[in-house]
């Protein structure tokens, strides 16, 4: 008979696996408070809140942060628009090229980021488009579409066609039906997709290194610090803030899509 108690070995292996996935991130939280500023010494010689104040006063961190927030917001809006349209089209009808469209949406995230990055860069070069805020957004929106699409398409399939027809029979036009019947049904999926797209864009570095000119998003700032460390304590604090900033949308997306057949995050 099959028992519902897991064998001890499996429990230990699963626990170790989870620990492997979480302990490194937790370490960041400890390092943000260390008094050591020259090396990555363990155990930390002492704890201090000083580096939070130092980081707060750094203009380059604030500029990078605000650029990242702007890029992520605009990319999310574009991705929400394109992803929702695409999901609506793919979920409601079978048409010629439907498979091709869904493949096209997934491709930017299925192929390694470096390929998306260098492709965009060589295209910008060929078309003589100078690098700017908008070239970053162009790249980010392209790979964020898939996240919104994945969330929206699952929900669209669950909104039954009879609901839409009932609304039309009762005299609502297409726009009213969209506003009062379809939108309330898909809104949480869109919100979840939007949050995940935001987190994805906020964190993206590989494509950004190819599509940004002189500007520094927060991940690019961090990459610089990783390659050539200047002020380790500031990096530690920024790393901790980034963990928290991305943690919140993911948790939000989880609670918004909990209990539905498809849960957010599967599309990354």
Site for other proteins in 36-75 (CB under 8 A): 39-43
Closest distance to other proteins from the beta carbon of 108 (Å): 6
Please, which residue, 120 or 186, has the CB nearer to other proteins?
A: 120
Closest distance to other proteins from the beta carbon of 92 (Å): 8
User: Any idea of the CA torsion for 98, 103, 108, 110, to the nearest 10 degrees?
Assistant: 160
Residues 205-224 that bind other proteins (CB under 8 A): 205-206, 209, 219, 222-223
Across 91-213, the runs of DSSP E, i.e. the strands, are none
Distance between CA atoms of 57 and 51, rounded to whole angstroms? 10
Please, which residue, 79 or 188, has the CB nearer to other proteins?
A: 79
Residue 78, CB half-sphere, CA atoms under 13 Å: how many? 17
Residues 229-248 that bind other proteins (CB under 8 A): 235, 239, 242-243, 246-247
Q: Which residues contact 96 (CB under 8 A, 6 or more apart)?
A: none
Q: Which residues does residue 47 pair with via DSSP β-bridges, in sequence order?
A: 34
Work out whether the CA dihedral 106, 217, 78, 125 comes out positive or negative.
negative
Please, which residue, 181 or 263, has the CB nearer to other proteins?
A: 263
Closest distance to other proteins from the beta carbon of 97 (Å): 9
Residue 213, CB half-sphere, CA atoms under 13 Å: how many? 9
Decide if residue 193 touches other proteins (CB under 8 A): no
Interface with other proteins (CB under 8 A), residue from 67, 145, 154, 256: 145
Q: Give the SS3 label for residue 47.
A: strand
Residues 85-144 that bind other proteins (CB under 8 A): 85-86, 88-89, 92-93, 95, 101, 104-105, 107-108, 110-116, 118-123, 125-126, 138, 141-142
Closest distance to other proteins from the beta carbon of 262 (Å): 11
Work out whether the CA dihedral 45, 49, 52, 53 comes out positive or negative.
negative
Closest distance to other proteins from the beta carbon of 39 (Å): 5
Distance between CA atoms of 185 and 161, rounded to whole angstroms? 12
Closest distance to other proteins from the beta carbon of 147 (Å): 10
Q: Which residues does residue 34 pair with via DSSP β-bridges, in sequence order?
A: 47
């Amino acid at each position: 008979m099959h028992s519902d108690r897991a064998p001890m070995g499996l429990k230990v292996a699963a626990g170790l696996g989870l620990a492997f996935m979480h302990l490194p991130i937790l370490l960041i939280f400890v390092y943000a408070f260390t008094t050591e500023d020259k090396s990555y010494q363990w155990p930390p010689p002492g704890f201090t809140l000083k580096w939070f104040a130092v980081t707060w006063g750094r203009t380059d961190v604030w500029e990078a942060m605000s650029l990242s927030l702007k890029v992520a917001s605009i990319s999310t809006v574009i991705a929400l628009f394109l992803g929702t349209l695409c999901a609506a089209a793919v979920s409601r009808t079978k048409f010629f090229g439907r498979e091709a469209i869904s493949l096209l949406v997934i491709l930017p995230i299925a192929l390694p980021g470096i390929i998306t990055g260098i492709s965009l860069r060589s295209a910008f070069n060929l078309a003589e488009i100078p690098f700017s805020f908008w070239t970053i957004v162009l790249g980010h929106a392209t790979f964020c579409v898939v996240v919104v699409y994945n969330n929206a398409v699952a929900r669209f399939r669950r909104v039954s066609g009879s609901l839409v027809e009932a609304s039309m029979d009762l005299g609502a036009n297409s726009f009213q039906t969209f506003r009062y019947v379809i939108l309330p049904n898909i809104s949480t999926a869109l919100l979840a997709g939007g949050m995940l797209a935001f987190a994805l864009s906020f964190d993206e570095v590989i494509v950004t290194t190819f599509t940004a000119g002189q500007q520094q998003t927060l991940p690019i700032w961090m990459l610089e610090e990783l390659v050539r460390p200047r002020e380790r304590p500031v990096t530690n604090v920024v790393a901790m803030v980034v963990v928290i900033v991305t943690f919140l949308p993911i948790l939000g997306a989880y609670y918004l899509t909990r209990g539905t057949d498809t849960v957010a995050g599967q599309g990354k």
